[in-house]
Amino acid sequence: MNISFAKPSLPKAAALVVGVAEGRALSATAARLDSRAGGVLTRAMAGDQFTGKSGQFLPILAPHDLKVDRIVLAGLGKLEKFDSAAAEKLGGAIVGHLAASRTAQASIAVDAHKESPITAAESAARLAYGASLRSYRFGKYRTKKRDRDRPPPRRLTVMVADPAKARAAYRPLSGIAAGVFLTRDLVSEPANVLFPVALAARARQLTDDGVKVQVMGEARMEKLGMGSLLGVGRGSRHESQLVVMQWNGAPKAKTRTPIAFIGKGVTFDTGGISIKASAGMEDMKWDMGGSGVVIGLMRALARRKAKVNAVGVIGLVENMPSGSAQRPGDIVTTMSGQTIEVLNTDAEGRLVLADALWYTQSRFKPRFMVDLATLTGAIIVALGTERAGLFSNDETLRDQLMAAGDAVGEKLWPMPSDAAYGKEIDCDIADMKNIGSGRGAGSVTAAKFLERFVNKVPWAHLDIAGVTWSKKGSALVPKGGTAFGVRLLDRLVANSYEVK
């Protein structure tokens, strides 16, 4: 979808969207249209349940003397609550409404409201950002159009008094959207296309954005002693990979110590020898969701020229059963020197992250580490699909992540991390085992496992198993890959870690 900004006018378009505040209070543009059209907007509202509440729309056939086919009244809600988040949601909702009516071209009039906490230019930029996020589609494997398809508009013009200022405010937001789209693309790809080497190649394309990318194969990882990560991929014909991405956006900062993000990248997870049930196994193409978020985040930081030094590390494997696959009962030695008895080969993500976390803290000595992983089904049982689970050894980092998630609508929930849970993974014949003693607290014991490879660096673990894929759309997220975590972590960086 092409988005542009322009000064207010009466455009020639299929639809013109104008705002109405709660209580049927017409915006300035809507009021002028109503006057010109002999009160048609006021009469239409009087005969309908539309009151201007957030999320409401009322399409009206435009009078014949106007250049547009129809006028769409969009509810702004209470103006004192019309902030950046509300503007983004409105933009997404507008695209959803226009797509439902198969509108190919539309204009949106954005007016100043003294009651609103944001300016008209910021409102226009945020509205465009929300519209962009909602417009995403993954259709590269479609060969035919379907009657039920509802594509977004091809062109959207946002009209505002100061389009230059709106355009400038939108520019970094479009960079974040590019990162979100990249993550959604990666999560949506089938596993026969996006195996570890192929995903590493996609990450290498970030060099075009100014990101330094290093890819390690199995021989290099063997020398580093990454027996935990390598063990997961033993059953696959596809070679495992470790990808390191560096964005140095603050080379003159007082401290160049980077912040670090680590992602689980299991490009397909059969469960290995501890094989999963066949029902729903096709969803395991997105078990690389954590790595996809880290790649998308690095693009977002680079595209918006974030003034921060950041590192992204992703471990890429395919978990397959074969004659060479890891077996239940095998013992592996991690890069840290700690040993693990692998009792369940389907608890593989933590094995990948164990070496990736240790490598990251050993090489970069980061200010903090945040890892993301579609790690446990237990977190879905606990939190459903509304929030991701948050585990952390650092109260400040935990609070910063919670605030960032609330701000962008990618919400987290703090989970317990008591020392007693760690005893569940103690092992008689190795330093630890990769699953707990029973069925309870599976997400917590997985987090306690990861904590053993953090070495007291401030750290947070986000279990995103329930929020990586959506079976229904929302204001900013269409069905499919959500890219949950890209906007959250970008906001964390912007709020707390960029050089001012």
Known catalytic membership, residue 276: yes
3-state SS track over 77-130: ECHHHCCHHHHHHHHHHHHHHHHHCCCCEEEEECCCCCCCCCCHHHHHHHHHHH
Closest by CA to 373, choosing from 469, 293, 268, is 293
CA distance linking residue 468 with residue 491, whole number of Å? 18
Nearest-5° Cα angle at 347, 342 to 350:
90
DSSP state of 433: E
The one catalytic residue in 126, 264, 350, 491 is: 350
Helix (H) or strand (E) holding 296: helix 289-303
How far apart are the C-alpha atoms of 362 and 455, rounded to whole Å?
9
What phi and psi, each to the nearest 5 degrees, are found at residue 317?
-145, 165
The two structure tokens encoding residue 292: 């996809």
Please check whether residue 41 is in contact with residue 33, taking contact to mean a CB–CB distance below 8 angstroms: yes
The closest alpha carbon to 394, from 457, 444, 339, 488, belongs to 457
Rounded Cα–Cα distance for residues 260 and 329 (Å): 33
Bridge partners (DSSP) listed for residue 15 = 70, 106
User: CA-CA distance, 353 to 220, in Å (whole number)?
Assistant: 17
Considering 24, 32, 276, 411, which one is annotated as catalytic? 276
Question: Of 471, 473, 140, 468, whose CA–CA distance to 286 is shortest?
Answer: 468
Tokens of 324: 């060479």
Confirm if 260 and 458 have CB atoms less than 8 A apart: no
Give the 3-state secondary structure of residue 445.
helix
Active site residue 171: no
391 forms beta bridges with 461
Question: What is the C-alpha to C-alpha distance for residues 434 and 452, in angstroms, rounded to an integer?
Answer: 12
Cα–Cα separations (whole angstroms), residue 280 to 225, 286, 374: 34, 12, 15
Q: Listing from the earlier edge strand, what are the strands of the sheet with 330-333?
A: 330-333, 339-342, 432-433
Which sequence positions are flagged as catalytic?
Answer: 276, 350
